[in-house]
Amino acid sequence: MSGVLDRRSRPVRDLRISVTDRCNFRCTYCMPKEIFGRDFAFLPRAELLTFEEITRLARAFAREGVSKIRLTGGEPLLRRDLERLIEMLARIEGISDVALTTNGSALATKAKALKDAGLTRVSVSLDALDDTTFAAMNDVHFPVARVLAGLEAAASIGLAPVKVNMVVKRAVNDHCILEMAEHFRGSGHILRFIEYMDVGATNGWRMDDVVPTAEIVARIHRRWPLLPLEANYAGEVATRYRYQDGGGEIGLIASVTQPFCGACSRARLSADGKLYTCLFATSGHDLRALLRAGASDEQLQARLRSIWTQRADRYSEIRQANTSQRTRIEMSYIGG
């Protein structure tokens, strides 16, 4: 493992791979129905990276220090035969962790095949426990019970602890914070609260809609006292707390109010093979063209090193200064 550093001395350790830009939800903070309607043109199948192409890129990243891979989307479980890709990625030398972020809609039926293929961890997006509020977020009236069934199926076959991701938006679902905390206390799962972020340009983001994680912690602490925990590893994005009474732990991801750019070690690969060095990027680097033009492993490796060594991204640190008019890539295209 040779490793490579960017211009701020950050290594590349985590690779997030979007396997599809399609999703069966229309979450208002990610794929609002007004934009991603019936006539929206998603990527044609021929433009998606094949599993073999994804694996080749992942192997190149592993040689530069990546040890963790997370599959995202869109909704990754919409990609047919995803377990075959997981099996291919899990075999790469140096890759110790293959994780998945999903909306949970198909997890109940697919969890075992994913685990058997080599999946090590799963995160499930769930923004509320009551169907009315959840529908206001996912905008397709998908029932909470089916997401919870998927979550429990994953845990039952060894993908525990499951991380449950709740995006918090003021006046939409912030009244659910304590209810979510109470439900997952003592469950063995880890609930993570995520600040509503300005990813892309279609979700109508306003700072007034953000519920700072400091406020979330204060609300929970008043009901169930919390104690801070140290990070599991350098560059961990979630700030961790445990319940003083032994009820488990929670995490908070504060990209807006407490930026963690300084330790960011994540690269993102879109479904059509563009490499993005920041979640809030305005453009990517086309690796698919390089692959399909017959580039050698050495040429591919050189391109990855060239991109990463020029990286200087710190969007969240300078958000308020001069970024409000930037055209950013949509989260559904780049993955979360």
Instruction: Indicate the pTM of the whole model.
Output: 0.93
* Count of beta carbons in the 10 Å neighbourhood of residue 286: 15
Q: Residue 2, exposed/middle/buried by CB under 10 A (0-12, 13-18, 19+)?
A: exposed
Average pLDDT over residues 54-61: 98
Residue 82 has pLDDT above 80, yes or no: yes
Q: How many CA atoms lie within 13 A of 229 on its CB side?
A: 18
Cis peptide before 161 (omega within 30 of 0): yes
Q: How many CA atoms lie within 13 A of 4 on its CB side?
A: 22
* 80 vs 256, residue with greater confidence: 80
Question: Which residue in 137, 126, 131, 133 sits closest to 32, CA to CA?
Answer: 137
CB 90, CB 117: distance < 8 Å: yes
Q: Express each pLDDT in 110-159 by its tens digit.
A: 999 999 999 999 999 999 999 999 999 999 999 999 999 999 999 999 99
CA 194, CA 320: separation in Å to the nearest integer?
19
What does the domain layout of the chain look like in residue ranges? 14-334
Q: Express each pLDDT in 170-218 by its tens digit.
A: 999 999 999 999 999 999 999 999 999 876 555 556 888 999 999 999 9
**Quick one: pLDDT band at residue 1, thresholds 50, 70, 90?**
very low
Question: Which residue in 98, 90, 156, 91 sits closest to 122, CA to CA?
Answer: 98
Q: What is the pLDDT of residue 323?
A: 47
Q: Percent of the chain at pLDDT above 70?
A: 92
* Count of beta carbons in the 10 Å neighbourhood of residue 234: 9
Which of these ranges, 83-92, 150-159, 291-300, 310-319, has the smallest mean pLDDT? Answer: 310-319
Residue 19 has pLDDT above 50, yes or no: yes
Out of 237-241, 286-290, 315-319, the most confident range is 286-290
CB 138, CB 25: distance < 8 Å: yes
Average pLDDT over residues 258-265: 84
Average pLDDT over residues 247-262: 89
Q: What is the CATH number of domain 14-334?
A: 3.20.20.70
Q: What is the pLDDT of residue 166?
A: 97
Residue 235 has pLDDT above 90, yes or no: no
CB 266, CB 332: distance < 8 Å: no
- Which residues, 6+ apart, have CB-to-CB distance to 109 below 8 Å? 153
- DSSP states of 43-110: PPGGGSPPHHHHHHHHHHHHHTT--EEEEESS-GGGSTTHHHHHHHHHTSTT--EEEEEE-STTHHHH
Q: What is the pLDDT of residue 280?
A: 80
Residue 35 has pLDDT above 70, yes or no: yes
The per-residue pLDDT of the chain, averaged, comes to: 92
CA 14, CA 190: separation in Å to the nearest integer?
20
- Which residues, 6+ apart, have CB-to-CB distance to 240 below 8 Å? 228, 229, 230, 231, 232, 249, 250, 251
Residue 12 has pLDDT above 80, yes or no: yes
Q: What is the pLDDT of residue 2?
A: 57
* 206 vs 248, residue with greater confidence: 248
* 255 vs 133, residue with greater confidence: 133
Q: What is the pLDDT of residue 255?
A: 81
Q: What is the pLDDT of residue 326?
A: 56
Instruction: Take residue 275 and report the two structure tokens written for it.
Output: 């490499």
* Residue 83 phi, psi dihedral angles, 5° rounding: -60, -30
Q: What is the pLDDT of residue 43?
A: 95
Q: What is the pLDDT of residue 28?
A: 86
